[in-house]
Every structure is written in C-alpha cells, then in structure tokens.
Amino acid sequence: MDCPACGGPVTLEVGPDRPPSTSLSNAVLDAAEDERLDVVRTCWDCGWQEEHRLRVEAIDTTAGDADAIERARLLEKITDELAAIEALGTLEDTLTEVRRQRRLKPAVEDTNENATE
C-alpha cells in the first residue's frame, strides 16, 4: 500500500518479539490462540506511522496436512486483502468469516454421509 500522507511506499513490521523481517503471514501462522500481534506500518519518506493491534483468534492447528493447506490458503487471502485495504480491522473480520466457513463445512459433509448410509 501507499502512504496516506505522501503516497510513498510503506513498510509493515510485525511484533512484539518477532524479527523485523517477519511477514504478517508468518506471524499469524505462528501466533497462539488469542495472542496479540502488533502491526506497524511506517513510511520512511515522511515518517508517517500507524500501529494496529490484532488478536489472533483460533486458527485451528490440530488436524493434519489438509488443514495446513487450508491455512496456507487462508494466509494468502489475508495478505491479499491486507495489500488492498486501509484498515487492518478488516483482517479480523476475514479471520472471523473464515472460521465460520470452516465450521459450517464439516457439518454439511456429515449430513450428506448420513443421508447416503
């Protein structure tokens, strides 16, 4: 995204306690349930800075490879949206929506199996 003050490029850093090179995607992947992430966007041209606190609610990590793939897809979606949006609050909305969809999906599959048996 571009700096809202001067239109220059901004950098995004994720904290706390993470290396400066950590991407938001990796930070979300590594985050424990209910862990807070600080996301700081800085423009090095004019000094504009914006800090957001995100709370990572449960992104399930309990199951196997299928879930890992799904998480990767989720993260792609998150980073795509982050690139496009101004308000990081939308990220939390995205996570909420994805969690809702994940919960609905198995329920539908169960219903189908029961119907055929």
What does the binding site for Zn ion look like in residue numbers (CB under 5 A)? 3, 5-6, 8, 43, 45-46, 48
Kindly tell me which of 8 and 89 has the beta carbon lying closer to Zn ion: 8
Distance CA 49, CA 7 (A): 13
∠ CA(6), CA(10), CA(14), 5° rounding?
Answer: 145
Give the full edge-to-edge strand order of the sheet including 10-15: 10-15, 35-43, 49-56
CB nearer to Zn ion: give 12 or 48. Answer: 48
**Per the structure block, which two tokens stand in for 34?**
């209910």
Q: How far is the CB of 48 from Zn ion (least distance, A)?
A: 4
For Zn ion, which is the closer residue by CB, 46 or 87?
46
Distance of closest approach, residue 53 Cβ to Zn ion, in angstroms: 22
